[in-house]
Amino acid sequence: ETGVTQSPTHLIKTRGQQVTLRCSSQSGHNTVSWYQQALGQGPQFIFQYYREEENGRGNFPPRFSGLQFPNYSSELNVNALELDDSALYLCASEVWGPNTEAFFGQGTRLTVV
């Protein structure tokens, strides 16, 4: 148990739709990162939020957006879903710093049809 929960665990959406994925971080963790993991690949960094501000972004288009809330929860929003967005989406929370451990949720499996 990492203390990080994601919802929903599974989701099926239609191409062109919008989706919101949710993550509840550990209390006191002021940093949350989101990752996309395609089947058989390593997690790809989408973006990171620190104290409710975006603090770095990977190579993902603007239709991927996020929010972080004061209660240690966060959201990943994806607009105009494409078939290639089908993946496992992972959030990771940690305390800001150079040598800290990130705690991962179990992920949301998104299937776009």
Partner 1 sequence: SQQGEEDPQALSIQEGENATMNCSYKTSINNLQWYRQNSGRGLVHLILIRSNEREKHSGRLRVTLDTSKKSSSLLITASRAADTASYFCATDSSASKIIFGSGTRLSIRP
Binding site for partner 1 (CB under 8 A): 2, 4, 31, 33, 35, 39, 41-45, 48, 55-56, 59, 88, 90, 92, 94, 96-107, 109
d(CA 79, CA 2): 29
Q: How far is the CB of 31 from partner 1 (least distance, A)?
A: 6
Instruction: Report whether 67 contacts 60 (CB < 8 A).
Output: no
Q: How far is the CB of 49 from partner 1 (least distance, A)?
A: 11
Q: How far is the CB of 92 from partner 1 (least distance, A)?
A: 7
Read off φ and ψ for residue 109, nearest 5 degrees: -90, 110
Q: How far is the CB of 76 from partner 1 (least distance, A)?
A: 15
Q: Which is nearer to partner 1, 19 or 36 (CB)?
A: 36
Q: Which is nearer to partner 1, 70 or 98 (CB)?
A: 98
Query: Nearest Cα to 52, choosing from 26, 27, 71, 24?
Result: 71
Query: Nearest Cα to 64, choosing from 51, 47, 50, 49?
Result: 47
Q: Which is nearer to partner 1, 33 or 74 (CB)?
A: 33
- The DSSP 8-state label assigned to residue 58 in this structure reads -
